[in-house]
Structure 1
Amino acid sequence: MSRRPLALAVAVLALLAGAPTPARADPGPPGLTWGECADDLPGVPLDPAVRCARLRLPVDWARPHGPTFELAVARRAARVPERRVGTLVFGPGGPGDSGVERIRKGDRFSDEMLDRFDLVSFDPRTVARTAAGVCTPDPTLRRPPIPLADQADFDAAVAYNRALWERCRPTSAVFDHADTLSTVRDLEALRRALGERRLSFHGSSYGTLLGQQYAERHPDRVRAVVLEGVFDHSLSVRPFVRTQAATLQDSFDEFVSWCDRSTDCVLHGRDVRSVWADVLARADRGGYAPRTSFDVTAVALGMLAGPRWPQLAAEIRDMDAGDPPDELRLPIAVAAFCADWPAAVRDYDEYAGLVREAAAVAPDVRYGAGLLAVQTCLGWPSPVRNPPHRLGVHTRTPLLLLNARHDPRTGYAWATNVARQLGRHGRLVTYEGWGHGAYERTPCTIAVVDRYLVDLTVPAPGARCAEG
């Protein structure tokens, strides 16, 4: 019998016997003791307005009295205390981004947010200051290429991943409990520790999944939730890969259109698609070895997020002249992502089918980030702790969704699909521009989010902000 039914039974028996019911001890929220932050960010001096703390929480929420870990938390005090609205918790993206660093830098918030909210964030499980593992590849294993070429490559990728995870696991207490549902429990504990009756939350990119799932499980505790650059957790592997490729192709199309009309593009006057195709063909022939065609695509994936169109044009020009692309560096918190999203791919034939499907919707860029996600999680134990599902949110205040029309990472199709799942409990605002993340793009996007968070003003259906 669980502890709660047992306690209820004891109380009922006591009443029947005419004895007084023993008072239940309320453990209260875990405590936060604020102090000076570690001086561990080069170029970012300590700010007296920012304080840090560590919140001790269960490793496994199913065993609340079992082993614990410490969640690294940072808070930036409201600059105008007499106009303070409350506390706003920022949900970092990635997965793998540091919320502590975001608060230390203070560069992710408007002046009004800095004035009127205590801004709080944290490093999620396995990230930076929160039980981050030491994950070094097995030096005896070759890192498989992206894309994989055959069944031998597929088997090698599974072996490489599993060996990496076995080296990570002993170095992080929370490696096997880093899924977003566990972080939802962490966020609820943080809300209680902060003394906030209801949660005001702004999630970015992968942090929007945390906001969605918190609202789903604690609707009565939601004051306001912003989802910026919306992650769609309802997708199985095939539509995930397809939509990731399609949204990168869309952003590449926008880049080509800019290059055709702008003299700021160093490829202006040339057939940009043809130059790009020649670069990919050179990569296919081994011309940039050990870099592959995926490394070429990753250049576009990184720069279109800005978007940094002039720099992308210059990179393509240089690769066309023979310079290899930089080494792929797209870090991801594996223990979190792979516990949220199953890479249910049995063999190379299934994998190759995904590659073909991505290329069909993305003839120029071929892959998208979805293929990297698949390969990152090949071999992960099944079933995952937090499998994809359609949302069921019923909050008093609708969740505010904000997405760029041309986002190469969290595509507009994801935002519209999540908005459909939310129904009247969500409201999508479209930024008619480019890049990953939309909040600080224009005065309009800032005003939409700020008025929602400060005044709980929900935008009209179909609201849009023009490109910046």
Structure 2
Amino acid sequence: MRKTGPLLAAAMAALVGLTAFTPAQAAEPDAATIEWAACASPRERYECGTLTVPVDWKNPAGPTVDLFLSRQRATDPAARIGSLLVNPGGPGLSGATFATFDFFSPEVRRRFDIVGFDVRGTADSNRVLCSADLIAQYPDTFIENQAELDHWRDFSSRARADCKSRTGPVFEHLDSVSVARDMDAVRAALGEEKVTYYGISYGTMIGQAYAEQFPHRIRAMALDSVVDHSAGGERYFRDTAAHVQDVFDAFVKWCAGETRCALHGKDVRAIWARLKDRAERGELGGMSKAQVLRIIFNGSYAPAWYSAAEQIARLDTSAPPAPLRAPGDIHFPWQLICADFDMRIRDHREYAWQLRRAKAVAPDMEFNPSTLTVNSWCLSEPRPIPYPQHRLRVRGAPPILVVNSRHDPITGRAWAVSVARQIGRAARLLTYEGVGHGVYDRSDCTISTIDRYLIALKPPAYRASCPAVPLEPSTQVREPQDFLRRDLTDRPTPRH
């Protein structure tokens, strides 16, 4: 049976972008070295190191940024295939931390060095720094009129200027194309002729950017819970709303058939509508409607539907949400998303129109709360953005594995189908027929199928699937980023 699935966030949004991206003609990057040393306690059995790369890959003689890496050596050196580069998404979750987890199967860890690096602008790779006092003042992400939109635009402009001044030159170069160039430099520094890569959620953006630039340098690439970078404008709002409505519909159906669901035998949709109305009237102890929506949104990552049902039942009887945590807004390195997705809107009329279109496909959920958060932060991003939305252009790549759950609250299966079509004949689509964000460790079937591809380069048939496994009552509703929230007491750091 599966382990607890990863609780990862993929907070991203988009407006229309039409820039074409073609494979990079850059020569093999200089084989810079990584100075490996034992990580500090408590992870001293792993290696840590840094790799220096240009801030701006178009100006290699300019300022540089040090990428922080960690490596978990293959447990059977004689059977070692090479390095498996990994990224857990977020964006902004620590790849270096993720690489030290025993996340992958024993066979993958036997055959590969697991290598992760903190993406530029995150964790220990020149992370984006902002004034805590300023960020704590951010307004409600649900914008109700033009005055509130103007206030948000002013706030996001001030926040952007503050973070840029504290972070330095790398702030303007956080796009996935730059990160993909970083990953190719890591590949070269590891001495690998081709890259083997596994990325989750926003980590699939890095993989897609790499496949566009360096298709002939791919050995294997597994994209798990896929972001569709071609979704822009109204379609992005509609898609993300449809994704979270889909998991709500699946939740209602599950509860109707599961006697242990705290709402079993009740009209779940009526209770849900009542909670949203009460939140708008201020009757839920300060919880906003967006925070109510996060009960289902967050609760579908693991998934944690037993706990979500219990929380909804408590709120419906006016009891406080404790001991379950009341959902809150996700905090993330928003500039990474703003560099990849054009989020700006003209005025509140356009904003309200997009929400109405979203509600048409999501009558219960209305909108995806993560979409509103990201949209607000990126309102003042100057044009042109570094990596605007476009259809993938991948030419000459080997088989690429695209993986998604049937029901995913943020990267719905429709996005995976779209990305697989854009990649073309090289793509293989694997569907986990259950709920959740992050597929690899959902079941024996998902593990063995992805392992076979990574190890033996044997992808599944087109449109393969793995059956769902029963949900676990013990799983709790958590913020998506709690899975890899940065913990200084349990993080791989170099030994000095």
**Residue 101 of structure 2 corresponds to which residue in structure 1?**
105
Q: State the distance in 2 between where 1:379 and 1:231 align.
A: 23
Residue correspondence of structure 1 range 55-454 to structure 2 within 5 A: 55-106=51-102, 108-136=103-131, 139=134, 142-173=137-168, 174-288=170-284, 290-322=286-318, 323=320, 326=326, 328-368=328-368, 369-454=370-455
- Secondary structure of residue in 1 paired with 2:396: coil
Amino acid at match of 2:113: D
Contact 1:430 1:463 in 2 (8 A): yes
2:382 partner SS: coil
Whole-Å separation in 1 of the counterparts to 2:136 and 2:460: 53
Q: Which amino acid aligns with 2:359?
A: A
Offset at residue 47 of structure 1 (A): 4.0
Deviations 1:230-252 (A, max 9, x none): 11001112111111110101111
Asked if the contact 1:241/1:371 (under 8 Å) is kept, the reply is no
Question: Which amino acid letter does the alignment assign opposite residue 258 of structure 2?
Answer: S
- Tell me how far 1:142 sits from its aligned partner: 4.8
Give the letter aligned to residue 364 of structure 1.
Answer: D
Give distance in 2, aligned partners of 1:393 and 1:75. 29
Whose relative contact order is higher, 1 or 2, with alpha carbons under 8 Å and at least 6 apart? 2
Q: Is the 8 A contact 1:138 1:164 kept in 2?
A: no
- Counterpart-to-counterpart distance in 2, 1:321 and 1:195: 61
Instruction: Give 1:359 deviation, angstroms.
Output: 1.2
Cα distance in structure 2, aligned partners of 1:393 and 1:327 = 39
In structure 1, give the amino acid aligned to 2:449. V
Structure 2: 5+ residue stretches without partners: 1-27, 470-496
CA RMSD of aligned residues (A): 1.7
Instruction: Write out per-residue CA displacement over residues 180-238 of structure 1, whole angstroms, 9 at most, x where no aligned residue.
Output: 01101101110000000000001111101111110111111111110000110011121
What per-residue deviation string (whole Å, max 9, x for no partner) do you get for residues 121-143 of structure 1? Answer: 11101111111122235559953
CA distance in 2, matches of 1:175, 1:214: 20
2:136 and 2:276 mapped to 1: Cα distance?
A: 27
User: Among the aligned pairs, what percent are the same residue?
Assistant: 41
**Inter-CA distance 427–327: structure 2 relative to 1 (3 Å threshold):** closer
Other-structure match for 2:38? 36
Distance 1:75 1:198, change over 3 A: same
- Deviation of 1:358 (Å): 1.4
Number of the residue aligned with 1:6: none
Deviates more, 1:320-329 or 1:197-206: 320-329
* TM-fit CA distance, 1:326: 2.3
SS of equivalent residue, structure 1 residue 100: helix
SS at match of 1:274: helix
Letter paired with 1:210 = I
Any idea what the Cα deviations from partners look like across 1:405-429, whole Å, max 9, x if unmatched? 1111110000000111111021111
Q: Aligned partners of 2:277 and 2:106: how far apart in 1?
A: 48
Q: Secondary structure of the residue that 1:109 maps to in structure 2?
A: coil
Tell me by how many angstroms 1:376 deviates.
2.3
C-alpha distance 163-288 of structure 1, shift in aligned 2 (>3 A): farther
Task: Supply the distance in 2 between the matched residues of 1:373 and 1:27 (Cα, whole angstroms).
Answer: 34
1:402-460 CA distance string (max 9 Å, x none): 11111111100000001111110211111111110111111111111111111110211
> Which ranges in structure 1 are unaligned for 5 or more consecutive residues?
1-25, 40-44
Distance 1:421 1:411 in 2: 16
Are the counterparts in 2 of residues 146 and 292 from structure 1 also a CA contact under 8 Å?
Answer: no
Distance, in Å, in 1 between the alignment partners of 2:344 and 2:210 is 26
Shift of 1:38: 3.9
Q: Is the 8 A contact 2:221 2:401 kept in 1?
A: yes
Partner residue in 2 for 1:16 = none
Aligned-partner Cα distance in 1 for 2:285–2:137: 15
Conserved in 1, the CA contact under 8 Å of 2:128 and 2:333?
no
Distance 1:97 1:35 in 2: 22
In structure 2, relative to structure 1, the CA distance for the partners of 1:293 and 1:47 (3 Å cut) is same
Letter in 2 for 1:442: S
Give the C-alpha shift of residue 392 in structure 1: 1.0
State the shift of 1:115 in Å. Answer: 1.0
Shift of 1:146: 2.7
**SS at 2:266's partner residue?**
coil
| Aligned counterparts of 1:338 and 1:450: Cα–Cα separation in 2 | 33
Query: 1 CA distance for matches of 2:59 and 2:165?
Result: 19
Normalising to structure 2: TM-score of the pair? Answer: 0.85
Residue 27 of structure 1, CA deviation: 8.3
Q: Secondary structure at the match of 1:340?
A: coil
**Alpha carbons 2:230, 2:391 under 8 Å: kept:** yes
Q: Please say if residues 205 and 229 of structure 1, whose CA atoms lie closer than 8 Å, have aligned partners that are also in contact.
A: yes
Aligned to 2:43: 46
Q: Distance in 2 between matches of 1:141 and 1:293?
A: 20
- Structure 2 counterpart of 1:451, which letter? R
State whether residues 431 and 438 of structure 1, in contact with CA within 8 Å, keep that contact through their aligned partners in structure 2. Answer: yes
The 3-state SS of whatever aligns with 2:445 is: helix
Work out the CA distance in 2 between the residues paired with 1:228 and 1:140.
31
Query: Structure 1 residues 129-138 or 339-348, which shifts more?
Result: 129-138
Bigger Cα displacement from structure 2, 280-289 vs 445-454: 280-289
1:138–1:160 contact (8 Å) kept in structure 2: no
Q: Secondary structure at the match of 2:48?
A: strand
Report SS of the residue matched to 1:459: coil
**Inter-CA distance 138–380: structure 2 relative to 1 (3 Å threshold):** farther
| 8 Å contact from structure 1 (residues 215, 395) kept in 2 | no
Letter in 2 for 1:450: D
Give the 3-state SS of the residue equivalent to 1:104 in structure 2.
coil
User: Counterpart of 1:32 in structure 2: which amino acid?
Assistant: I
Note the alpha carbon deviations across 1:35-85, whole angstroms, 9 max, x for none.
Answer: 12244xxxxx3141x101011111111110111111011100001111111
